Chain A
Amino acid sequence: MTIAAIVLGLAVLALATVCGRPLGHYIADVLEGGATSRSRLRFGVERLVYRVAGIDPERETGWKQYAIGVLLFSVVGTLFVYGVQRLQAWLPLNPQQFGAVTADSSFNTAVSFVTNTNWQGYVGESTMSYLTQMLALAVQNFVSAATGIAVAVALIRGFARHGAATIGNFWVDLTRITLYVLLPIAAVIALVLISQGVIQNFDAYKEVVAIAPQVQSSHSQTLAMGPVASQEAIKELGTNGGGFFNANSAHPYENPNTLTNFIELFAILLIPIALTFTFGRMVGDARQGWAVLAGMAILFVSMWVVAIHFEQQGNPIFAQVGADAARSDAQPGGNMEGKEARFGIGASALFAAVTTATSTGAVNSMHDSMTPLGGLVPMFLMQLGEVAFGGVGSGLYGMLIYALLGVFIAGLMIGRTPEYLGKKIEAFDMKMTSIAILATPFVVLLGTAVAVSVTAGKVGVANPGAHGFSEILYAFSSAGNNNGSAFAGLSANTPFYNTALGIAMWLGRFWVLIPVLAIAGSLAAKKRAPATAGTMPTHGPLFVVLLIGSVLLIGALTYVPALALGPIVEHLMMRS
């Protein structure tokens, strides 16, 4: 484990926290209407959107109408993205004259981008026209992220309000988050990325003469072009993760150097961290936000250092065959397979942890090439529900669900009615919590079981045995938790996987999000109970331990048996 890798990780965490605090407060002000009163222009743009869409911004709704709004918006988006892919051959901005995307791949990609997963069964630069990349995929990068934040804020309102019948207006939240938070920050990040060499154009692909002969003695090489920077910025900021190119952030036109790598890591963590401050601000107690952030940070750091450790240790079989895999001034040592030389082990392991701890799924190295236990880390971070720090919005509402579970368990232990932020946690809330927590493991484990049982699932595996099982488990963990990263090695662009993973992504998103909104509605209607001597404080170390314990308990009980069949067996085989 190198000092440089640790410093890099702590630096990006510190910067995201320092910048996340004012951003979190700004998001709270924007969504409660405070920040908009200062600007006539912003009010004007917002009013125009409402007028065109026929929205009454003054009318708030209960959780059911809020949920139906989310669902309607998502299903229309899914049909639109599906249609654009199927019709792209007849649409403009298609200099490579790509034909229609296949029906099963279009379905998978449409669900993938609408659910903020960005699982990519296709190869971007040889499948999607520029119009499809921008109008279908990049637009969903913005609005799916805004939807996640809106749901998290609706849940926060549930805690903050008392005796209320409403939790906000989905269309207003969606509009404000997109206009005032995501668009301006993404524009700034895109310009910074362009300054560092990320491309942004509508050119046809370029044929260039390579300096060194390529395979088959050809000196010709095709360089894919496109409007990359504008998509790259929101890809990280919105924890979407869908790359313009197949190699994602390992591609030099998406992530050219160590500075852009740092910026992308920062962009991924910024909003998930900021939302913990939004939470503290909106519930009127900043310490509550800090406690949730502390739980997230401890979980993340503890998993991240495990990944660095095993990647730096490398593969012991190298030593057995006489290869020098030790770290020295001349070589990084460890496991460099599948990693970009310009990033090395530290920045690659950090990126793998950040992208799976959040729901991003962007990659700057190939996770399939990680050591068994190094690769277990991103898989387990997804399986924990991506709550440290989680996707934009989904991370916070996921962690708050675990907070409810934690105080419920604590209430059982001490024999008191569980409370969180002055709200009594009752039977309905716990039923919704159970659905929200169990929906994802159900999708992941059932999907994996089906895939390893049927021929259509097994033919996609290039590495039979424990590693092949890991690839399938990773794919369903990624889809069910709306991450989108791939272990690779699995041929997933088939009708079976496109359909099965598409269904998994939909259920993993909405069968969690809907009970969360139901909890928001239930909590908003309750009166706030005054704190007494018997109330468990939820801003101290005890609560943080309880929160982490709840996450790990559910994660371990649910996934360790499956992990034992994949990466753990592979690790033992490698060591034996």
Chain B
Amino acid sequence: MQDLVFIGLIVVLYATTHALVVALSRLGRIE
């Protein structure tokens, strides 16, 4: 159970950072 929590946390950290890449990429195209 604990493993699921921390593996999930790693995936969430990855996903939010990937979202940052996408957001900055779109911002770059707009500007």
Contacts and interface: CB of A to CB of B under 8 A. Distances in A.
Contacts of B18: 68, 71
Contacts of A86: 3
A110 B24 CA distance: 27
Taking each of B21, B22, B25, which has the highest tally of chain A beta carbons within 10 Å of its own beta carbon? B21
A107 interface: yes
Given A71-B18, A75-B14, A79-B7, A515 B24 contact: yes
Given A67-B21, A103-B3, A110 B10 contact: yes
A518 interface: yes
Contacts of B31: 426-428
Interface in B1-31: 2-3, 5-7, 9-11, 13-14, 17-18, 20-22, 24-25, 27-28, 31
Given A428-B27, A518-B25, A104 B20 contact: no
A79 B25 CA distance: 26
A106 interface: yes
Given A427-B31, A506-B13, A514 B24 contact: yes
A82 B27 contact: no
B21 to A, nearest CB: 5
B24 A103 contact: no
Contacts of A106: 6
25 contacts: A64-B21, A64-B22, A68-B18, A71-B14, A71-B18, A74-B14, A75-B10, A79-B7, A79-B10, A86-B3, A103-B6, A106-B6, A111-B13, A426-B31, A427-B31, A432-B24, A435-B24, A499-B9, A502-B9, A511-B17, A514-B17, A514-B21, A518-B24, A518-B25, A521-B28
A507 B19 CA distance: 13
A82 B21 contact: no
A176 to B, nearest CB: 24
Top 8 A-B residue pairs of the complex, sorted by shortest distance between their CB atoms: A103-B2, A107-B6, A75-B14, A428-B31, A510-B17, A64-B25, A518-B24, A506-B13
Nearest to B11: A75
Chain A interface extent, by class: 35 or more
Interface of A is mostly: helix
A481 interface: no
Nearest to A75: B14
Contact of A506 (B3, B17, B21): B17
B11 to A, nearest CB: 8
Contacts of B14: 71, 74-75
Nearest to B14: A75
Contacts of B2: 103-104
A522 interface: yes
Contact of B28 (A435, A511, A518): A518
A82 B10 contact: yes
Contacts of B6: 82, 103-104, 106-107
A431 interface: yes
Nearest to B3: A103
Nearest to B17: A510
Contacts of A515: 24
Contacts of B3: 86, 103
Interface in A96-112: 103-104, 106-107, 110-111
A303 interface: no
A187 interface: no
A107 B8 CA distance: 11
Nearest to B10: A78
Given A103-B3, A103-B6, A106-B6, A71 B17 contact: yes
A510 B25 CA distance: 15
A503 B14 CA distance: 11
A71 B18 CA distance: 7
A506 B7 CA distance: 14
Contacts of A63: 25
Nearest to B30: A428
A506 B18 CA distance: 12
